Structure 1
Amino acid sequence: MLIVGGTGEMGQWFSTFFRERSFDVSIWGRSGKIEVAERLGVRFAHDLHTEVKRSDVVIISVPIDITEQVIAEVAPLMKAGSLLMDLTSLKTGPTRAMQKYAPQDVEILGTHPMFGPTIPSLHGQRFILTPINDRCQKWFPIIRKMLEDSGAHIVIVEPEEHDRFVSVVQGLTHFAYITIGTTLDKLDFNVKESRRFMSPVYDIMLDFVGRILGQNPYLYAMIQMENPEVIKVHDAFLQECHHTSEIVRIHDIQGFITKMKEAAIHFGDTAPALRRSDKLINFKISEYDHLLASVGEERGLLHVYTGKIHVGEVWKVNPTEVLLAEGTKTVSLKIENIQLLSAEELKEWKIRNLVHHRRDISVIIPENADPDIILEVLSGNANIVRSEIIDKYLIDGKKSVTYRISILADQEPENVQADIERVLCGIGCQLRV
């Protein structure tokens, strides 16, 4: 598999995705960043044309405005039976270009992953496919199954229908959020200070505005400018903004109410939307409450962007940050950047990262006892990381077994060992000194 544009963020994400599914992945990018390929554990395609000719699958993952140009360059070089895919946010132009430039014995598939490169997996993510009749018979079921097996929700549409819907799904949504951001800038509005007064809805809205503004502006410019359907959406949105503002200016309360009711009727059943938004709001409140309840206790906090796990005593919590006593230092973490680990996840981190206590316990076991069953009983202790049998032999005709146990690093080893010895004696074993 060759990913053209594989040094970009989405290209890197899919390089890892397909490598983990046993593809021999190579990437190419105009930047020539060989170090990206080395970091991802894939090959860098030094000779693009040669790599295209030998690849079973070629994926185009380049900016929207040059996608068709790149397709025109690489598609004619592809071998019979291979597959050409793209990952762009528009589908009509790229699929037409693939049909035009790819030989008839090369299959084509337009795709649009409805997520960004920060997600950890495909689980629960929407993935749009725009197959062309008679041009993707062999590869389509293979790609679809691979995506679905990875947890993706597949949506199959025509390219033109896709572009009409995303002119609102992306075009309107991004336009509105970006414009809110630029309005805050125009007003010289203190966003950070405003969080002292925020409601849950304002809090969530700010998060989405910040999410869009913090990403690649070139990508968002292309989404706005390359889809011809977007301008019609802009015109309707601006007209509605102007009309609603006029209603407010003349203090037409009934006009405002009527307009809002008409929009609600067109929207459909607003009750599910209310429940889903309540769920989102309550989740944010619940997560904050859990952090507050953790003050003075040990907790594990995952930094969702760096992937680092911080473990320590929660010292202080406020609406924007958590102070964690981590070893001999105090760490300040922004609440929006962290995820609270469950007790089981924290234990797993400790098992992987801490140095545990090791104890060997030798016993004479009852005549008809099974040493392996006794081992299973010992392994059920929540404070035991690992347990194994390291020695078995006979003493005066009696079975002697030595069990080696690894005790979780943050436990008192003497206490845990005493618990284990009580269990052994309770089932008829005799401790050996």
Structure 2
Amino acid sequence: MSGFARSVVVGGSGAVGEMFAALLREAGGRTLVVDVVPPPNERGPFLAADITAPGPELAAALGRADLVLLAVHEAVALKAVAPVARLLRPDALLADTLSVRTGMAAELAAHAPGVQHAGLNPMFAPAAGMAGRPVAAVVTRDGPGVAALLRLVERGGGRPVRLSAEEHDRTTAATQALTHAVVLSFGLALTRLGVDVRTLTATAPPPHQALLALLARVLGGTPEVYGEIQWSNPRAAPARRALADALRSFAALVGDGPEPGGPAEGLDGAFEELRRFMGPELAAEQNRCREMFRVLHHTDDEREKDR
């Protein structure tokens, strides 16, 4: 048993909500999916309702629930906090799956200061599955319900990583907003170079192949999702500015043409700075890269390093 005899998953028609609803049902709890439209693969009780203005049926379900999980857009989740908090039992858990934490922290402080709460941000696409993957967990108010929810994630194969709200937004600005900006900027740069993508894929060394694969993965998603990651996180704009500054610094180091002493002379300091930043993680990530390149090349050759 999950520890939640009755749960309500709001936004259960979406991919994230559907993933958590399935996890709760597999653990043996009674799970009600609430959304404005039915889920594509309805597997249990469903209620069409607006969580920001609960009617009598939804209000009764919220009042009975051990867990209410908001798997909806940030604007809806923030607007739902006050009405949901008024209906929850004192020992119930409120959770959400937002990708930005600071706004929710302020809303909870204003309207639900005594409510157990945890924010879960799956750091992967739901279609990839939870097994072995990290789930950022921001606990606003701890309690037995929070512990039960984190155990549920672990039983589903996920790895909860506890962060403060500030740590979460600073970290995801780097791991998501900055990463996506790098990959999409790389793609846009290619379109401006007049190169043929078939020639690139035929001749690409492993690092370029890896970047092309990342670009293809991002392009398989929707612009709205990637755009929301960029504009909703208050730390994303500074991350993009840091990227632009770093590219200008790199251009200054290597110059615009052949220089006396060669390019390595200007890059020595940058390499040393980056090696210090990576610290003890450097060797582990080098090993990870070797494994990734083996997959790309379908080979056990370890000699390819610099290109």
Question: Could you say which TM-score interval applies, normalised by the shorter chain?
Answer: 0.7 to 0.9
Are 1:140 and 2:146 counterparts? yes
Residue 277 of structure 2 is aligned to residue 266 of structure 1: yes
Partner of 1:177: 183
Question: Could you tell me whether the CA contact under 8 Å between 2:131 and 2:158 is conserved in 1?
Answer: yes
Shift of 1:86: 0.7
Correspondence 1:22 to 2:28: yes
TM-score w.r.t. structure 2 length?
0.82
Match of 1:332 in 2: none
**In 2, distance between residues paired with 1:89 and 1:179?**
22
Other-structure match for 2:45: 43
Q: How does 1:215-230 map to 2 (within 5 A)?
A: 215-230=221-236
CA shift, 1:240, in A, is: 1.2
Instruction: State which of 282, 292, 297 in structure 1 corresponds to 2:294.
Output: 282
**8 Å Cα contact 1:78/1:102 also seen in 2:** no
Q: Is the 8 A contact 1:129 1:154 kept in 2?
A: yes
- Name the SS for the 1:25 alignment partner: strand
The whole-number CA distance in structure 1 between the counterparts of 2:252 and 2:79 is: 45
Aligned amino acid, residue 67 of structure 1: A
- Whether the 8 Å CA contact 1:86–1:94 is kept in 2: the answer is no
Q: Provide the C-alpha distance between the structure 2 equivalents of 1:170 and 1:68, rounded to a whole number of angstroms.
A: 22
CA contact (8 A) 1:75 1:103 kept: no
Is structure 2 residue 266 aligned with structure 1 residue 255?
A: yes
Residues 99 and 109 of structure 1, relative CA distance in 2, 3 Å threshold: farther
Counterpart Cα distance in 1 of 2:278 and 2:258: 25
1:107 shift after superposition: 1.7
CA distance in 2, matches of 1:47, 1:231: 35
Greater fraction strand = 1
Give the counterpart letter for 1:116 in structure 2.
A
When the two structures are aligned, how many residues end up with a matched partner? 281
Match of residue 2 from structure 1? 8
**Match of 2:94, SS?**
strand
Partner residue, 1:341: none
**Aligned residue among 94, 114, 118 for 1:109:** 118
Partners of 1:35 and 1:152 lie apart in 2 by 24
**TM-fit CA distance, 1:137:** 1.2
Partner of 2:170: 164
The counterpart of 1:92, out of the listed 92, 102, 108, is 102
Match of 1:129 in 2: 137
Query: In the alignment, residue 232 of structure 1 is paired with which amino acid?
Result: P
Match of 1:54 in 2: 64
Unmatched segments (≥5 aa) in structure 1:
290-433
Separation in 2, partners of 1:84, 1:287: 48
CA distance in 2, matches of 1:206, 1:250: 26
Extract unaligned runs of 5+ from structure 2.
1-6, 302-307
Deviations 1:58-80 (A, max 9, x none): 11112234432233443333233
Instruction: Name the amino acid aligned to 1:190.
Output: D
Report the aligned-residue RMSD. 2.4
| Normalised TM-score (structure 1) | 0.60
CA distance in 2, matches of 1:220, 1:29: 23
1:354-389, Cα deviation, whole Å (9 max, x unpaired): xxxxxxxxxxxxxxxxxxxxxxxxxxxxxxxxxxxx
State the 1:41 CA deviation: 0.4
Q: Are positions 1:11 and 2:27 aligned together? A: no
Q: Percent identity?
A: 24
Give the match's secondary structure for 1:249: coil
Query: Distance between the aligned counterparts of 2:187 and 2:244, measured in 1?
Result: 16
Higher helix share: 2
The Cα shift of 1:197 comes to 0.9
